[in-house]
Structure 1
Amino acid sequence: MQDNSLFQDARDINTKFSKTFITYFFPVGNEIRQIVVDWINYLKEQKLWGNDDPLFPMTELVLNKNHQFGAIGIKRKHWSTTAPIRNIFRKAFENAGLPYFNPHSFRDTLVKLGETICNTPEEFKAWSQNMGHEGVMTTFLSYGQVAEHRQCEILKQLASPQKISATDLNELVKCMMKQLRDANISIKP
């Protein structure tokens, strides 16, 4: 947690396409990070779990006196399907008095945020990799729908002349001059 990241090892957990990767916290506020930190502290301090134990473990179920399954805690085992996680989300939204949003809708939201705040292809590529996508096209094709009203706004914006700041223009000229020098092309006044 020191560098705001979580390591997902495909040897220990069933990641999509068996990929091992590091996920960094997206810039969505410190509250989410703090919830994860508190949960990790609970697992390590109260349950005495280590770094190789699941971060989001399976619920431990037993038969109660009515011969029904009931949760009694958590066990050191990963979930094998996504259905229980969806149920946890559903109950959490219900308890908060909110309409249900499935876990994948949070990924949709993160992509939309990335499209808004990333200013360069490199930034969006890093954003995409952080979602576990090897190629940025996966992010664009799986999540990249632009709402019709936003599509209209963007095209209107692109139709109006864009102002280039002096700083941007200076950087462009420097870059062009470097490329000319590197290609051994001289410019004469």
Structure 2
Amino acid sequence: MRKHNPKNERIKRRYFIFLEEAKRMKSTSVDQVAAALSQFEAFTKHKDFAAFHIEDARKFKRNLAETVSPDTGKPLAKGTIYSRLMALKTFFEWLAGQSGYRSRLTYADAAYFNPSNRDTEIAKTVREKRVATFDEIRRALFAMPNTTDIEKRNRAVMAFIAMTGARDGAVASFKVKDVDMSRRRVYQDARHANTKFSKSFHTDFCPVGEDIEQVSRTILRT
């Protein structure tokens, strides 16, 4: 049994470049698309994408529904199935417009990857996650060790996150000049900070109390 199809590999490479350069998709997201395509190819025994038939999509959906996760020993989560099917649907929609495939595929063919409405609703359901209360954050902060320089830094970073509500990835990439203690705000500058969706914006400090602000100042040296 062959483990890859050279023609498929070439068109996949073009698609991944399209996702990264035209759709501005992160490499981690492209990797997830690649994994979904690889799973589908393995299921079809690496059949040429140009020979795709709607029955391939229907059978693959049934196969996913019966697949057991090696990590949990349980059927794949609806959200996992949904994301893989949507990755395949989007790929075949794109493929239907490419030279060498237009006469073999239609955009409607890709719709056969759609899960049922019920499974879609379940996949999109977001369960509310419990987050720590501010009192719990305060107790944890002042219970942290505060002897070495590293311990003081860690404590100050936690205080700063509590004060700004900024994401940890963004905080790690801030510069001291981004923080304006006199105006009580931080500028999340996407030019160097790892902000969500690469957007720049100001964040005002939360009213956490002078004691927590003093802890955060130890790392800002202001």
Q: TM-score range by the shorter chain?
A: under 0.3
TM-score of the pair, normalised by structure 1: 0.27
Greater percentage in helix: 2
Greater percentage in strand: 1
